[in-house]
Chain A
Amino acid sequence: NAGVMQNPRHLVRRRGQEARLRCSPMKGHSHVYWYRQLPEEGLKFMVYLQKENIIDESGMPKERFSAEFPKEGPSILRIQQVVRGDSAAYFCASSRRTGMGETQYFGPGTRLLVL
């Protein structure tokens, strides 16, 4: 049973380019969460999605960032016109369902470096 998959594992972009991060949840999981981790910091919630729906995007910057989880295929976190401050590790997590105490399993992360 494969765990949460993320690709690419490392991504280098120049300022102004676009970054696309992909996340495939564990088999049987329909809930996906994206978190951002800055160096020496904890993980910060960005967005929570179910298939074809954004449930909570309260942690996501209003501009340049968007996320989707289509009916088929992985969830995608898209960052347009990247800036150096976007450099971070981006983790996605998945769970079977939502509600009290539902375990979230994390992927290996995508480390984005903006030059």
Chain B
Amino acid sequence: GENVEQHPSTLSVQEGDSAVIKCTYSDSASNYFPWYKQELGKRPQLIIDIRSNVGEKKDQRIAVTLNKTAKHFSLHITETQPEDSAVYFCAASTGANSKLTFGKGITLSVRP
């Protein structure tokens, strides 16, 4: 089955700096890659996703890139703000039944 790994497990950045979170996946059949943000005690919320027919997608300060050959995808957050502090999960799906395989999450801390 699919295996998704996330690196690093924690990341601390200064407010205004950029943050990059990387994930790798194992199943070459995976074709959908969402990113979720989870604040303490809250539900995971989709922040951006990418499908395998594109290599990059951007939404304001957030962007995601996908390298299907290397089987990795990354989340880029620019001009970080304290409210970006949360746990971020990457996930992958083959689309067959849409079940998501998640990475273990990364705790992002943005220092004011």
Which A residues lie at the B interface, using CB under 8 A? 4, 31, 33, 35, 41-45, 48, 55-56, 59, 91, 95, 98-109
Query: Is B99 an interface residue when CB atoms closer than 8 A count as contact?
Result: yes
B43-51, B62-70, B77-85 - the one binding chain A: B43-51
Once A41-B104, A42-B89, A99-B98 are accepted as A-B contacts, the answer to whether A91 and B43 lie under 8 Å apart by CB is yes
Which B residues lie at the A interface, using CB under 8 A? 6, 31-32, 34, 36, 42-46, 49, 51, 89, 93, 95, 97-105
Chain B residue at minimal CB-CB distance from A98: B98
A103 touches B99 (CB 8 A): no
A108 touches B42 (CB 8 A): yes
B44 touches A91 (CB 8 A): yes
Bound form: Cα–Cα A95–B97 in Å:
11
How many residue pairs bridge A and B at CB < 8 Å?
67
B98 touches A31 (CB 8 A): yes
A33 touches B99 (CB 8 A): yes
Bound form: Cα–Cα A4–B31 in Å:
25
Chain A residue at minimal CB-CB distance from B97: A56
Once A56-B97, A100-B31, A100-B32 are accepted as A-B contacts, the answer to whether A44 and B102 lie under 8 Å apart by CB is yes
Query: 10 A-B pairs, CB-CB below 8 angstroms?
Result: A33-B98, A42-B105, A45-B99, A91-B43, A99-B95, A99-B98, A100-B51, A104-B34, A106-B36, A109-B43
**Nearest-Cβ distance from residue B66 to partner chain A, whole angstroms:** 12
Bound form: Cα–Cα A103–B51 in Å:
11
**Nearest-Cβ distance from residue B73 to partner chain A, whole angstroms:** 14
Bound form: Cα–Cα A35–B89 in Å:
14
Task: Enumerate chain B residues within 8 angstroms of A107, measured Cβ to Cβ.
Answer: 43
B98 touches A48 (CB 8 A): yes
**Nearest-Cβ distance from residue B64 to partner chain A, whole angstroms:** 13
